Structure 1
Amino acid sequence: MSRSRIGAVMREERQRLRWTQQDLAKEVNVHRSMISDWELGAALIPQHMACKIVKALGSHKLRAQVCYECEVSPLSTP
């Protein structure tokens, strides 16, 4: 199975908005280090957090990636 691309897409979309990791962390109510871990693929993104991040970034690209990967292999559950 291939490596998740959600973190990379999340980083691209965050940077497109010129947000810092801290900006996104504050928006979704997590510590900045979690955003870093998720972007680097060091930790799985719980499904409920993926949804919050998609909404916070308003990203159709990230939404499509999350939906694709959920179909291939379920994200971690809360």
Structure 2
Amino acid sequence: AANKYQEKEQEMQKKYETYAKAAQDEMQAKEKALMDPIEKRVMDAINAAAAKKGVKYVLPAGVLVYKAGGYDLLNDVKKELGL
């Protein structure tokens, strides 16, 4: 009888793992579908703002170790996004 319960428990655990994986995959797909257009819009705004200012390289502020001058493109990008 104990073996029967262990087998049933293992079967239920496998079903749970299958459902959990399917739910996670579906959530990732939906997140990607929602985020892709937003990321594209932001990248288009960054490219447009950079082109208008003649900027060749755009780096996130956290990447820089040393900064002597330069131009902060954030307000230009916000303007492109209508924010």
* TM-score after normalising by structure 2: 0.29
The structure number with the bigger radius of gyration is: 2
